[in-house]
Chains A and B, each alone.
Chain A
């Protein structure tokens, strides 16, 4: 029943990035203990007093950056090995097999984890996001006087969940990876526990997230009851070998879909997004808007491509299309008149989920590739934009309102220009990376025959320019509202400046030379 080679102990090296990040967490915990034991601050409560610059966070940041860089190096090594090998996947770990038929051939055979180029590119994005977010975390914490050493450990743990979601091809692994991704985020949302908005965001995310996890695991149990296995390939094999689909399986898959759609923030499972994004500390919001989206869409496209291919499209594509349309409409409508920048970006994240769900509807390896490119462009823009919000916002407020942005271009020309470019990339202006992502996603959906959906998505992305252009109008055209105090952000800390420059340069570079991004994505095709 169980062969030793099934587990793939000799291929465990392919999990290198995950192992490296796990070791990073352990080193971080150890470093924290040592720092606490040997620092001159006898009582932890004195840290704030004796260490006004928050330099005690420096070791944690450095360890996190080293760990993430090592993981990236390992990912490149694995990618090189994959190219040299020429196969579709570098390794399949924890292999399960279907019944052998009369000739001894197994009906299906698949690993619970597939270390293929798609998963490796998702992992690469995850590690880059970790680096960017931990970089902008340091000045944010210093300006807010929140000296929490544990948060780097939690960030890395969450990234491990992201990596595993990119590799996972088994509902049980997917579930646990989602938990590993979300659990640290529930805590990180409540990081600034002096602000009630942050606490509210944490509690809301936790309660609703736990509820959604319940749906996911209940659905998985129904799927197991119908199929007898949780592997995506087993589900696909069951679907293709049973013409009339069992209702238990359909119910299970739709409950799994609810659980995933909640984390994706597809309408109607989006209600938590504005409050959570607005209340959470801004770097954490950046992590949620980029990292969670990448990981969950990777999980969703794996589920679609690996298991739903066998299911008649009418069972899932129509429902997903309705969710996509609703996400675009609701996201756009509510974003139009927001006065808070973070809230507006939250609603725009819902709209982007809608566009990305169009690619999910299309399905197939090409859609997986376009999805990755879109997500890369969106992550660059959203991390940059949230970073600028973190930079501009007043220490006690953790948010920027549009009437505070007035006249910003004259006092902070560089920051306003960067913000303008990044939000235009989110909107999908030509010559920015966002345009390339949108173009590819819509092209794939068009090729899959979803013409109505694509036309609707294009119309919506035109509408969305209205609220992205509000940034430009506020920053460049409107005089300061009399009686409001101007934003006093001071000079930009180095970590912010690096992130801003990198995100703007990448946005324009990929917009002007799209072949860089497209080739990058081309090698990330999920080969089946």
Chain B
């Protein structure tokens, strides 16, 4: 077993374990952190599969930016008192879902272990008999410079990725910005109600949070009555001042 495949197996196991941890942990912050581990494992797999560009993007965009956003959202909306967000699933749901997932996993595993024999790489790999995969993917080239023609670059080289992304795939690339615009407008529409209820509401929240450090629990827990009382008191004060 070569070093590459050892890394691959370790990272694959790590990614699967992290994914399982993400799905099963009850605290959303833990879920998000498990997801980071999963992303890192995937990134290492990309690296082993000689896709350095994807590796970097995975680490910077997913494990970096997107996870920060996730954690920010979770922390923003999660009350510290609410220890668990997820309601445990019903037993029947668990059973039914489990059976279906095992079936799907079995099918995919079967497909993966039996269907790989006649894979082609279409346009990307020149089909020359007698070439090894590494040769075909230009992975054995000693070095490349800025003047190396695109065809001779190793597959997955950033220049190749960029060329494909901004030529053949320029339309999906552009459309993604429309999808983001839709998401932005949608978020605005969903959030506007809170905006339109006035700045007063926000001020009330701010007063409560900054002066008393009271954050409303999701469910009225023990001691919620006093907290709610303090909350109302501060609200009244804030309104009086305004």
CB atoms of A157 and B181 under 8 A apart: yes
CB atoms of A228 and B120 under 8 A apart: yes
CB atoms of A172 and B150 under 8 A apart: no
Given A157-B178, A183-B182, A228-B120, is A96 in contact with B168 using a C-beta cutoff of 8 Å?
Answer: yes
In the complex formed, the residue of B with least CB distance to A245 is B115
CB atoms of B171 and A112 under 8 A apart: yes
Task: Decide yes or no whether A250 CB sits under 8 A from chain B.
Answer: yes
Task: Decide yes or no whether A94 CB sits under 8 A from chain B.
Answer: yes
Given A7-B167, A94-B168, is A244 in contact with B182 using a C-beta cutoff of 8 Å?
Answer: no
Task: Give A163-187 as 1s and 0s: 1 = Cβ < 8 Å from B's Cβ atoms.
Answer: 0100000001100110110011011
Task: Decide yes or no whether A160 CB sits under 8 A from chain B.
Answer: yes
CB atoms of A45 and B197 under 8 A apart: yes
Task: Give A230-247 as 1s and 0s: 1 = Cβ < 8 Å from B's Cβ atoms.
Answer: 000010001000101011
CB atoms of A7 and B115 under 8 A apart: no
Q: Which of B168, B185, B196 contacts A45 (CB 8 A)?
A: B196
Which of chain B's residues 139-176 have a Cβ closer than 8 Å to chain A? 150-151, 163-164, 167-172, 175-176
Q: Report Cα–Cα, A158/B181, bound state, in Å.
A: 11
Q: Which residues of chain A are within 8 angstroms of B218 by Cβ–Cβ distance? A: none
CB atoms of A246 and B116 under 8 A apart: yes
CB atoms of A248 and B179 under 8 A apart: no
CB atoms of A44 and B195 under 8 A apart: yes
Which of chain B's residues 95-148 have a Cβ closer than 8 Å to chain A? 107-108, 110-112, 114-127
Given A99-B123, A228-B123, is A173 in contact with B167 using a C-beta cutoff of 8 Å?
Answer: no
Q: Report Cα–Cα, A242/B168, bound state, in Å.
A: 26
In the complex formed, the residue of A with least CB distance to B120 is A228
Which of chain A's residues 97-153 have a Cβ closer than 8 Å to chain B? 97-99, 112-113, 148, 150-151, 153
CB atoms of A250 and B181 under 8 A apart: no
Q: Report Cα–Cα, A153/B169, bound state, in Å.
A: 26
CB atoms of B119 and A1 under 8 A apart: no
Q: Report Cα–Cα, A148/B107, bound state, in Å.
A: 46
Q: Report Cα–Cα, A248/B116, bound state, in Å.
A: 7
Q: For residue A29, give the distance in angstroms from its CB to the closest CB of chain B.
A: 8
Q: Which residues of chain A are within 8 angstroms of B107 by Cβ–Cβ distance? A: 251
CB atoms of B186 and A184 under 8 A apart: yes
Q: Report Cα–Cα, A166/B176, bound state, in Å.
A: 18
Task: Give B175-200 as 1s and 0s: 1 = Cβ < 8 Å from A's Cβ atoms.
Answer: 11011011101101110110111100
Q: Which of B150, B178, B190 contacts A190 (CB 8 A)?
A: B190
Q: Which of B115, B124, B188, B197 contacts A228 (CB 8 A)?
A: B124
Q: Report Cα–Cα, A229/B123, bound state, in Å.
A: 8
Q: List 26 A-B contacts (CB under 8 A).
A: A1-B151, A2-B150, A2-B163, A2-B164, A2-B167, A25-B181, A43-B196, A43-B198, A45-B197, A94-B170, A150-B189, A153-B185, A154-B185, A157-B185, A176-B172, A176-B175, A180-B175, A183-B186, A184-B182, A191-B189, A222-B111, A228-B119, A238-B120, A247-B110, A247-B112, A251-B115
Binding site for B on A (CB under 8 A): 1-2, 6-7, 22, 25, 29, 43-45, 93-94, 96-99, 112-113, 148, 150-151, 153-154, 157-158, 160, 164, 172-173, 176-177, 179-180, 183-184, 186-187, 190-191, 193, 222, 225-229, 234, 238, 242, 244, 246-251
Given A154-B186, A248-B119, 14 other A-B contacts at CB below 8 A? A2-B168, A94-B168, A98-B122, A99-B126, A99-B127, A113-B171, A150-B189, A150-B192, A183-B182, A187-B190, A228-B125, A234-B122, A238-B122, A247-B114
